[in-house]
Structure 1
Amino acid sequence: MSELHKMLSGGIYDPSDDILSEMRSKARNLTFKYNQTTRAQKEERKNILTELFGSIEGNIKIEPNFNCDYGQNISVGDNFYVNFGCVILDCAEVKFGSNCFIGPQVGIYTACHPVNPIERNSGVEFAKPIIIGDNCWIGGHAVINPGVTLGDNVVVASGAVVTKSFPDNVVIGGNPARVLKQVETQQ
């Protein structure tokens, strides 16, 4: 089994593998290129993101600086916005629904390291996917940890550290994040 297959299936993998290293290098080159563009270069930005991401279902806008590990493991729905300084470590799938808004300095991390120091020091890793539903808003400086699924209409308060999954229609915040209130979806 290849290291890429191990990584994407949640197994222990060696990130120094030549194929994974080449994939990360490609993503770094594309994000560097993207981060050098200006707002006036809309078509070039769109082309770079199309090459970088696994799938884009509609309108997308990402403010520089943006960084990710692989890019190809990220899929986004329509009307996707990311503010300045976002980092997505996409060693596993990272999927966003439509109408998602990501605040500044947000970290979304699928990467995991062994707790055992001997195993961790060997350099191996594993990853858990992150799934974000439709109509979600993640406030500035929030962190979404590996394995988290957020339902539709979830609001993550600024600075929250999300360590577990949450259902639809909630506002969450704190460290670790907890439900602060329900979201009313009727007008």
Structure 2
Amino acid sequence: MTVPQSVLDIMHSPGVYFWDDASMGAAQREQRDLLYDINALRADDPARERLLHRYFGEMGEDVWIEPPLRANWGISTHLGDHVYANFNLTLVDDGEIFIGDHTMIGPNVTLVTTGHPVRPDLRERLAQFSEPIHIGRNVWIGANVTVLPGVTIGDNSVIGACSLVTRDIPADSVAFGSPCRVVRKIDDHDRECYWRDRRIPDDV
């Protein structure tokens, strides 16, 4: 069994929907079983990479994800080439997640596409909504960052550790905080120094 297109259409469409479709539960159980098998393998076992290609919606070349991985679905997540994710990546991917080439993700990062209405009676009926997350090319997301539904992070940007990203972050920015805010643009100092005032060697 693969995830039915009808289930993906429900989850990936804008607006409120209800977790009341029997096919949703069956499809998610299959994905959870596949993720269990992935996490049971050693990180460098070739079978693990083959299962990851089955699990994700898309997975480019030279992708490395440290175990363990946590995700609601997997099939809704699209990974570009040369993506690296450290341990305990959590994907609440009822909605779609797009991660660009050469992006680096620190440990304990959570990407959340899905929320629930504040109205209590709707939550009792298992109402939820999903909005896609877009992470651009060559982004660095620090440890313990949480990205909320509907956020876009532009190319080359850096998100500081422990940030809560509630709004879009433009390209070529350094941003951090809770809520996450742009602190400055990437500048000439960053081209000369790798950390604080420690200079990048000329031969790099």
Above 0.5 in TM-score?
A: yes
Matches of 2:36 and 2:148, distance apart in 1: 25
- Equivalent residue in structure 1 for 2:130, among 124, 127, 130: 127
Aligned to 1:156: 159
- Is the aligned partner of 1:25 residue 2:24? no
Equivalent of 2:15 in 8, 11, 14: 11
Q: Distance in 2 between matches of 1:22 and 1:69?
A: 13
Does the alignment pair 1:70 with 2:62?
no
Other structure's SS at 1:172 match: strand
Q: Judge conservation of contact 1:96–1:132 (CA < 8 Å) in 2.
A: yes
1:77-96 matches, cutoff 5 A:
77-96=80-99
How far residue 14 of structure 1 moved from its aligned partner, in angstroms, is 2.0
Report the Cα offset of residue 23 of structure 1: 2.2
Q: Kindly indicate whether residue 180 of structure 2 is the aligned counterpart of residue 177 of structure 1.
A: yes
- C-alpha displacement at 1:39, in angstroms? 2.8
Matches of 1:167 and 1:69, distance apart in 2: 27
Greater CA drift, 22-31 or 160-169: 22-31
TM-aligned CA deviation for residue 61 of structure 1: 0.8
**Structure 1 residue ranges (4+ consecutive) displaced by more than 4 angstroms after TM superposition:** none
User: RMSD of the TM alignment (CA)?
Assistant: 1.5
String of CA shifts for 1:39-73, please: whole Å, max 9, x gaps: 331x1111111000011121111111101111111
Q: Please tell me whether Structure 1 or Structure 2 has the larger radius of gyration of its CA atoms.
A: 2
**SS in structure 1 opposite 2:16?**
coil
Question: Number of residues paired by the alignment?
Answer: 185
Distance 1:143 1:166 in 2: 13
- In structure 2, how many angstroms separate the alpha carbons of the residues matched to 1:77 and 1:96? 6
Instruction: Measure how far apart 1:141 and its partner are.
Output: 0.5
**Normalising by structure 1, what TM-score?**
0.93
Quote the sequence identity (%).
33
When residues 124 and 112 of structure 1 are mapped into structure 2, their CA distance, relative to the original with a 3 A threshold, is: same
Give structure 2 stretches of 5+ with no counterpart. Answer: 1-5, 192-204
